[in-house]
Amino acid sequence: MDYENTAKKILQRVGGKDNVINLVHCMTRLRFTLKDESIVDDEAVKKTKGVMGIMKKGGQYQIIIGNDVGNVFNELNKLGNFSNEVKEVPVKSNEKKNIFTMLMDTISGIMAPVIPAIIGAAMIKVLLTLLPMIGVLSTNGQTYQLLSVIGDGAFFFMPVLIAISASKKFGTNMYYAASIALIMLHPNLITLMNTAHDAGQTVKFLKYIPVTYASYSYSVIPIILAVYSLRYVERFVDKITPVVTKNFLKPMLVVLIEAPIALIILGPLGAICGNGLSTVVYAIHDKLGFIAIGLVAGVYPFVVMAGMHHAFTPIKLGMIATTGYENFICIGELCSNMAQGAASLAVALRSKNKDFKQIAGSSAFSALFAGITEPALYGVTLRLKRPMLGACIGGAVGGLVGGFFQMKCFGIATPAIVTIVQYVEKGKPQTLLFAALTILVTVVVTFVATLIIGFEDIVDEDDDLDFVEESNAQLLDNEISITSPVEGKVIPLTEVKDSTFAQEILGKGAAIIPEKGVVYAPFDGKVDAVFETGHALGLVSEDGVELLVHVGIDTVNLKGKYFTPKKKSGDTMKKGDILLEFDIDKIKANGYDVTTPIIISNTEQFAKVKACEDKVVTKESKLLSVQ
C-alpha cells in the first residue's frame, strides 16, 4: 500500500484538514472527529485504495484500514499535524441516538485507545499461563512474581488509563483526570475502605457524609462518570477564581471539589451501574445457558460493525476481577473471530482474482492467529455478503460447542489461536482440548458453509475515484523539467496554510517561501492569464504544461497593491524572463503570508508529477518534473 497516497486521498475526501477536529486510531480504524460529517463523500472514501469500509459512531467518523492503520495514521499526521487534544468545536451530525446508544458509544470510544495497553498486559498473562505449563518458569520464583506485576499493572490501574482517554473525549484537563483516578486507587484509601467494610462500618467525610464502599481497581464506569463531571467543575472554578489567583487557587479547588464528588457520589454510582450492566448480561447467559453463547457468536460481527465491541470490555474485566474468569462474551468472541478467519480462508481458496485472493488470505491469517477481524469483516465477508452468512453459521455452531463444554476465559487477550492458553483452567488440562475442539468445529463448519453458499467473485478492484493520473494518464517518453519561477525555500504543498492548495485540489506541485520579489518564466511558452489583481499568473509551456504561480495566501484582498506585472495575458515568454515583481516586505507588513504555491494545473494529463528534493532554489534550479 502507498501509505502517503492513501492518506492524501482520505484527508481530501473527509473534507480536508480544516474539517478535522481530532484524529486517533485503534487496532484497525482511523477515528476522525469532524466539524461537519455532511460534507464527506462516503462513497469516495470507501473506494480509496486501502480502505475497507467506514463507520459512523459516537460522534466519530471511523475509517477501517486494517493492520496498516498505524502507517496511514502517521502519514495523515504529516499532512495535518493533528493533535490528540479535543477542541471545543461544534460538530455537525445528523445521527440521532437514544440514551443507551449514546452510553455504549461513549464507553466504546473511550475504551478503544486503551486497548493496545490492555492487550500488551493480557499477553503477559498468557505467557504466565503458558511458560509454567511447558516447565520453563516456576510459579514460586521471583521472576514469576515480577512478571505477574507487569501483566497486572494495566488492569489494576485501569482507571488511570481510562481517565486519560476520557479526558480527550470530554475535553477536560488530562492531568486533573489522572489525579482523580490516582486518588481513587491510593493504597491508603483502599486500606481505609477495606478496614471499615470488614468491621461493618462506614467511612464518613466531614463526620456526617457517608462514603459508600467500592473497589475501583479494574473498573471503568466510575472514572468515566468522574471525568465527565470534571469538565463542569473546571468551568465553574474557572469562573469564580480571580485571574491573579488562577495559577494556584484553581488547581486546588478543582481537585478539592471533584475528588469528594467522585468518591461520595459518582464512584459508587458507577460501580452500581457497572454491576447492574454485568448482571443483565449474565442473566441472559444464566437463562439460556450454552445457547446464549451460540447466539452471541453468531451476531458478534454486527456488534463489531456497530463499533460496540469495546463496550463489553468493562463487563469482562469486572467478571474476571470478581470470579477469576469469564465464560460468556469471551467464548462468543473467540468463535466469531475464528469464523471470520475461516470464511476469508474459503474465499482465498475459491477466488480467481489474484489481488483479492491475497487480501482474503492475509485477512484470514490476521483473524485466526491474531484475532484482528476488521480486515476479514470489512474487506472480505461483508463486502461479498454471502460469506458473512457462512461466518455467522459457523460462529453460532462453535459457540454452542464451547458453551456445551462450559469453556472459561482467564485472560482478556484478543481471542485467537495464539492465545488459546487463556482458555485453559489450572489443574484441568482437558480444557485445552475443549478449546481446540471448539476452534476446530468453528473453522470447519464456517469453511464448508462458505464454500456451499458461494459468493460472487471480485473481477477487478473498484477504484474509479482514484486520482486520474494514476488510471488514465500515460507516461511520457521524456521527462519535462520545470525550473523554479521564484527563488527561496521550498516546502511541500501540504504545509501551505490554505486547504485548496494543501489538499492538491488545483493540482500537484510545490510551494516556495520567496526571498526575492520576482517571478521568472520557468520555461519557453505563453502567459495564458494574468489575474487582474496581479497576484497570480497562469502559464503554458510549449510542451503543454499548464502552471499556476500564486504569490501569497489570500493576497487577492490587496487588490493589486504591491504587485507589478511585466507581462500581460497572451504574451509569449522565454525562460528567465521577468513576469512579475512584488514587494515582499510590504505584503508581510499588511499581515499576509507570502508563501507561493506553484501548481501543475493540468496534473490529470500526466502520469507523474514530482517536486525536487532541494530545500532552497534559484531561478536556475529544477523545481518540478512531469512525465
The residue type of 102 is M
Report how far Cα 397 is from the mean position of its chain's Cα atoms.
33
Q: Give the helix ranges, DSSP H, for 424-518.
A: 430-453, 468-471, 499-502
Q: How far apart are CA 448 and CA 261, in angstroms?
A: 56
Q: How far apart are CA 423 and CA 126, in angstroms?
A: 10
Here the contacts of 55-58 (C-beta below 8 Å, separation 24 or greater) are 55/29, 55/305, 55/306, 55/307, 56/93, 56/95, 57/105, 57/108, 57/109, 57/306, 57/307, 57/308, 58/102, 58/105, 58/106, 58/108, 58/109, 58/307
Q: How far apart are CA 435 and CA 417, in angstroms?
A: 10
With beta carbons less than 8 A apart as the criterion, state whether 482 and 525 touch. no
Query: Which triple of cell numbers denotes residue 216?
Result: 475501583
Which residues contact residue 613 at a Cβ distance below 8 angstroms, ignoring those fewer than 6 apart? Answer: none
Q: Which of 26, 330, 335, 409 is catalytic?
A: 26
**Residue 195: which H helix or E strand, with range?**
helix 187-198
With beta carbons less than 8 A apart as the criterion, state whether 594 and 529 touch. no
Q: How far apart are CA 182 and CA 590, in angstroms?
A: 51
With beta carbons less than 8 A apart as the criterion, state whether 247 and 185 touch. no
Burial class (CB within 10 angstroms; exposed 0-12, middle 13-18, buried 19+) of 388: buried
E strands, 192-329, in order: 203-205, 209-211
Q: How far apart are CA 464 and CA 461, in angstroms?
A: 9
Q: For cell 480504524, name the residue.
A: 29
Crossing angle of helices 115-133 and 142-156, in 10° steps, is 150
**Residue 314: which H helix or E strand, with range?**
helix 313-323
Per-residue 3-state assignment (H helix, E strand, C coil) for 389-416: HHHHHHHHHHHHHHHHCCCCECCCCCCC
Residue 26 catalytic?
Answer: yes
Query: Which triple of cell numbers denotes residue 609?
Result: 508529477
Question: Annotated catalytic sites, by residue?
Answer: 26
